[in-house]
Structure 1
């Protein structure tokens, strides 16, 4: 009987390398546009061969996924720590106050918002963007099932996970358009209030607020 193996140093190194390439790709897509950026351009910016880039990624648009996935992974980790007595927005505010983002994480969040904004008019980037949100939705199902006291395969848990991640996507796009395109200042408090309202509306009040013990 085989035993599960822990992530190796090589796999961690490759994940970090993919993230670095992703950062360069996101910057180039924003500066030059998706169509105006080639795999050779991404490789040159990252200091790698084009062959290595294609060994890391299946397509040009998939190069954005590691940057986008960071936010999704942070949200799922945060969601597993969501106490029953707090709303999701309250928990997110408390968590962000206790664990502020680093300068690099903030830069990655800006890149992710830029890609979210670009994805509304670029089908290729939209595909990559939606794939990351689909993975987030699947990972969120057991979190909501536990919070709602339901089996993980229950339809309500799955529907609520779809509604919540859909609400996050809409808010990402709205905030991204306002902050990136219109240059408006959107505060953390305002963004959290939008998330709170969107989740409650999307789930008809079932998810978002505190739950009874």
Structure 2
């Protein structure tokens, strides 16, 4: 069963890649479920079996990007600040060419969400999943239970901070043509998380 689920997950991701490309090239209104199915080499019926709407097709690719950041935070050692960890983590976990392409597609979709409510819904659903992924990290670093209100508020704040940085950087790079380095982005994430959590998160954990 796990092999079947993995194949389905990969198939959904491939559909998502095609959908993101078509939405960017043609717009959401100019892209149909039939178009996405044809690009993916699948039947339209299969598309609707995988997704509830054409806009929700972007979720697997967006989730892939979000999951990478959550995974990085799960690797965050107590002894390091967030800035130091992120700087080291991008060296030890280098993105593949496909992952880089996926990140660019995710950034393009992020710039479209302000004018496309259905895409915005899919985008926010992925960030809700991200928030749940942050809870164990926050609980561990604050030495509290995951059900604690402070932990849940911090997880929500971290998610909001990441979303704001994601949208701002995506707009700067994709729309305004500004060069934003990976180091610049990580510095923004570090600052945003520190400010959003009133300094509770960002530094090393005291032994």
Q: TM-score under structure 1 normalisation?
A: 0.95
Answering whether residue 143 of structure 2 is matched by residue 149 of structure 1, we say: yes
User: Which residue matches 2:73?
Assistant: 79
User: Which residue matches 1:3?
Assistant: none
1:186-205 aligned at under 5 Å gives the runs 186-205=180-199
Answering whether residue 116 of structure 2 is matched by residue 122 of structure 1, we say: yes
1:105-116 aligned at under 5 Å gives the runs 105-116=99-110
Give the Cα–Cα distance (whole angstroms) in 1 for the partners of residues 79 and 4 of structure 2: 41
Give the Cα–Cα distance (whole angstroms) in 2 for the partners of residues 89 and 74 of structure 1: 16
Answering whether residue 185 of structure 2 is matched by residue 166 of structure 1, we say: no
Query: Stretches of 4+ moved more than 6 A in 1?
Result: none
List alignment gaps of at least 5 residues for structure 2: none
Q: 1:173-212: CA deviations, max 9, x gaps?
A: 0000000001111001111111111111111111111120
User: Which residue matches 1:17?
Assistant: 11
Answering whether residue 56 of structure 2 is matched by residue 54 of structure 1, we say: no
User: Which residue matches 2:94?
Assistant: 100
User: Which residue matches 1:63?
Assistant: 57
Give the Cα–Cα distance (whole angstroms) in 2 for the partners of residues 116 and 90 of structure 1: 27
List alignment gaps of at least 5 residues for structure 1: 1-6
Q: What is the Cα deviation at residue 89 of structure 1? A: 2.4
User: Which residue matches 1:4?
Assistant: none
CA RMSD of aligned residues (A): 0.9
State the secondary structure of the residue aligned to 2:145: coil
Answering whether residue 84 of structure 2 is matched by residue 90 of structure 1, we say: yes
Q: 1:40-85: CA deviations, max 9, x gaps?
A: 0100111111111111111111100000001221122221211112
Question: May I ask how many residue pairs the two structures share in their alignment?
Answer: 207
Q: 1:87-146: CA deviations, max 9, x gaps?
A: 222212211111110000000000001111101221000000000000110111111001
Q: 1:14-62: CA deviations, max 9, x gaps?
A: 1000000000000000001111110001001111111111111111111
